[in-house]
Structure 1
Amino acid sequence: MRILFSLSLIFLYSLCTAEYKIETLADDLNYPWSITFLPDGSSLITTRSGELRQLIENEAIRAPLANVPVTYVESQGGLFDVIADPLFSENRTIYLSLAEGSKRQNSTAIYRAVLEDHELTDVKRIFKVSPEKDTPVHYGGKLLFLSDNTLLMTTGDGFEYREAAQDRQSQLGKVLRMNTDGTVPADNPFASGSDGNPYVFSYGHRNPQGLILDPVTQTIYLHEHGPQGGDELNIIQATHNYGWPVTTFGINYSSALVSPLKSAEGITPPITYWVPSIAPSGMAIYRSALFPEWQGKLLIGALVDKDVKLLTLTDGSVSQIKSLFAELNERIRDVRVDSEGALYLLTDSAKGRVLRITPAT
């Protein structure tokens, strides 16, 4: 593992404009998936291969933490998201989403644990998606705390189970909402279980891998992978149906239609979509002063396009999309902004990197 600190190894993203300074904080990570920041200034990084690493400024990235839950690593399966409890400074609790199980029976799960010096303690599974599936793809797995400290998690449709996304009793192809102990909040839209699974918050999703809350407007943004084309950016509201697979702007990988419908009554349309696919992954909304030109805009990683999309929002719609950091020529897995306004990117490869981006001057 190499950590690059010297100024000679810091390069400018655009020499012609000298807009950005891009630092490689860590490299040789085996498909890093998510990064989260802790109150002490350190960060935690997951790799799809099942490792949880801690990065402390001016130190080498630490060896994998001990006692990370056993993860089912196959195809798209692995260790996914990591986030800190809203009261982390008091309880040092974190949450992990991951694939678990076997080839014949696997699902997405959430584990809660306490972060100690170099290990996890009090590790407990608080939630497991039902039903299980026999496909190693479309897990979802993004986690988000709302302002009331309830926890959201995205789930994928399992690829072969796309119709389950429209079944409100199934937990596949959904956004789920729960308490920090994995129980159902009393005010969940289907808490009684009569009209839908008690955990379901929204439905009709394919494979969402971007989920954020705008701290200013309290708007929940979600992006999800389409099939061949039809990646979507949605504003999430409780009980809303986002269409998959009844409506879609994409087609099957065989070029056959998934559905002839791009819109339908009772289905909430995306605020933008991409054809061909960009394969969105990771997302942040910029609410800091370091890059004033980004204020209030969305930043979305693109695995296929190998860039970051900067989206301007106007009255709940996307009015402009700009490409950033295409010169890196790297698949972007995660996009985060730290408390000082620096932008962090995770690159998606067997030698993945942690990049920190700040103004050049």
Structure 2
Amino acid sequence: MLRLFLVGAAILMLGPVPARAVEQVDPARYVVETVAGGLDRPWAVAPLPDGRTLLTEAPGRLKIVDAAGGVTPVSVAGLPPIHTGGQGGLMDVAVDPDFAASSLVFLTMIYGTDDANNARLVRARLAGDRLEDVRVLFDATPKAGNSNNGARIAFLPDRTMILTLGDGFDRREDAQDLSNHLGKLVRLDRDGNAPADNPFVGRAGAAPEIYSLGHRNVQGVVVDPDDGVILASEHGPRGGDEINRLRAGGNYGWPVVTGGLDYTFARVTPFRDLPGYEQPLLEWTPSIAPAGLALYDGALFPEWRGALLVPALKERAVRVVRRANGRIVGEELLLGERGDRMRDVAVAPDGSILVLTDGENAALLRVAPR
């Protein structure tokens, strides 16, 4: 009897884990081309306006891939030292919206040591196969350990940018502390400074760069070009993965409010909702491990226009999250038949979908209608 009671209590503690019936996109609807293979821990993909593609590899490599699959290494000799321990390394790459005139790219990397590291934001000019005029714009508060780095970049219509920062895993309570950058999204101008209208500028003890707080590990962020809304995908532990609509000064709850399960299978907190905390647009428990985010705005898949594309490591697919009137109205699984861990996704200028698989022998894929 005691044994039955304990089992029942454990089930009650975990709470219900609803099953989602998510349909696979019929592979007969699309073709998949391997644009480049043999990649070593690729982390980010960013299309260039001329049809070429930039991608990063965590060990510290930046590459240009042309439409025919030719790969050109870009010299990163001018970059500051990159810490590659654990989940660290060279991470995001983002192409300046004015790239045709500026040739600027923005990169994130992990700086520091195993015991004190975090994300660094760098700006450089892409000159052929090398980076020039490298400038460090921002260093986030150091954290202990090599996980939960965030480090994604998105540009806002007012020429500022958002940088996502993880909670560092072992110091998750710091996500609620405004004096540091852990578990925060920060907003910066193109020179790495805190804009004067950031929500916590002038508050005693608060880091002026902070845009929002209460995040665990935001590994995807996009700005909807139609309305300027910022959307982010957040990686929970065993659950509590989220899609959030971000607002200046918003508190997204971690670790006080979350539907997620910890790695021990216990609930992180008894609270799923409290006054003063933002609720996600969408939550996944169990975890799918979202690792990036793109908004589909191309012409090749008109039925997905406005949808979010969410590459998932654990689920081994790209979730197509359809939206209407600011709400989530449906989900589908793209590329689930391949069984690959999906690291990043982007929309090419021609409307095809670029997908990076994950790992030490990964690939850049191009998905187009059949």
Pairwise TM-score range, normalised by the shorter structure? over 0.9
Maintained 8 Å contact 2:25/2:335: no
Q: Distance in 1 between matches of 2:196 and 2:26?
A: 56
Aligned match of 1:111: 122
Q: Aligned runs of 1:131-146 on 2, under 5 Å?
A: 132-146=142-156
CA distance in 1, matches of 2:26, 2:132: 49
Structure 2 residue corresponding to 1:280, chosen from 290, 305, 320 = 290
Aligned to 1:315: 325
Bigger mean CA offset, 268-277 vs 181-190: 181-190
Check 1:328–1:199 CA distance in 2 against 1; reply closer, same or farther (3 A cut).
same
Q: Which residue of 1 aligns with 2:169?
A: 159
Aligned residue for 1:262? 272
Of 229, 233, 237, which residue of structure 2 is paired with 1:223?
A: 233
The percentage of counterpart residues that share the same residue type is: 39
Amino acid at match of 1:135: G
Partners of 2:74 and 2:131 within 8 A in 1: no
1:133 CA displacement:
1.6
Partner of 1:357: 367
- Verify: 1:209 aligned to 2:219, yes or no: yes
Equivalents in 2 of 1:64, 1:324: separation in Å? 31
Determine if the alignment matches structure 1 residue 79 to structure 2 residue 90: yes
Cα distance change on mapping 1:331 and 1:17 into 2, 3 Å: closer
Q: Contact 1:66–1:118 at 8 Å: present in 2 too? A: no
**CA displacement at 1:16 relative to structure 2:** 7.5
Question: Residue 303 of structure 2 aligns to a residue in which SS?
Answer: helix
Q: State the Cα distance separating 1:64 from its structure 2 match.
A: 4.3
Q: Deviations over 1:138-164 (max 9, x none)?
A: 110000110111011000000011011
> Counterpart of 1:99 in structure 2: which amino acid?
I
**2:108 paired residue among 65, 87, 97:** 97
Aligned mates of 1:314, 1:39 — CA distance in 2: 28
Question: Pick from 57, 64, 72: which aligns with 1:62?
Answer: 72
Shift of 1:195: 6.6
Q: Deviations over 1:119-153 (max 9, x none)?
A: 111112110001x1221001100001101110110
Question: Does 2:208 align with 1:190?
Answer: no
2:15 equivalent in structure 1: none
TM-score by length of 1: 0.92
Q: Give RMSD over aligned pairs.
A: 1.6
Counterpart of 2:177 in structure 1: which amino acid?
Answer: D
Q: Residue type matched to 2:319 in 1?
A: K
Partner of 2:307: 297
Q: Secondary structure at the match of 1:163?
A: helix
Q: How far 1:218 sits from its partner (Å)?
A: 1.6
- Looking at structure 1, the residues matched to 338 and 27 of structure 2 have their Cα atoms a distance apart, in angstroms, of 16
CA distance 1:148–1:354, shift in 2 (3 Å):
same
Structure number with the bigger relative contact order (C-alpha 8 A, sep ≥ 6) is: 2
Aligned to 2:13: none
Distance 1:89 1:340 in 2: 17
Q: Deviations over 1:304-327 (max 9, x none)?
A: 010111112233222211111111
Q: Supply the AA of the counterpart residue of 1:86.
A: P
SS in 2 for 1:235: strand
CA distance in 2, matches of 1:34, 1:65: 17
The CA distance in 2 between the partners of 1:196 and 1:313, in whole Å, is 35
1:127 corresponds to which letter in structure 2? Answer: F
* Residue 32 (str. 1) matches residue 23 (str. 2): no
Q: Please state how far the C-alpha of 1:299 moved relative to its aligned partner.
A: 1.1
Contact 2:36–2:69 (Cα < 8 Å) also in 1: no
Q: How many residues align?
A: 346
DSSP-derived class of the 1:191 partner: coil
- The offset of 1:287, in angstroms, is 1.7
CA distance in 1, matches of 2:90, 2:287: 24
Offset at 1:193?
A: 3.8
Question: Conserved in 2, the CA contact under 8 Å of 1:50 and 1:70?
Answer: no
Deviation of 1:187 (Å) = 1.2
Kept in 1, the 8 Å contact 2:25–2:334? The answer is no
Q: Secondary structure at the match of 2:101?
A: helix
How far apart are the structure 1 equivalents of 2:327 and 2:102?
A: 39
With normalisation by structure 2, the TM-score equals: 0.90
Q: Which runs of 5+ in 2 are unaligned?
A: 1-23
Deviation at 1:251, TM superposition (A): 2.0
Residues 196 and 125 of structure 1: CA distance in aligned 2, closer, same or farther (over 3 Å): same
Contact 1:306–1:329 at 8 Å: present in 2 too? yes
1:260-310 CA distance string (max 9 Å, x none): 111110000001101100000111111222111112211111100101111
Q: Is the 8 A contact 1:113 1:124 kept in 2?
A: yes
Pairing partner for 2:349 from 325, 332, 339: 339
Q: Which 4+ residue blocks in structure 1 deviate beyond 3 angstroms?
A: 14-17
Displacement of 1:66: 3.3
Unpaired segments ≥5 residues, structure 1 = 1-13
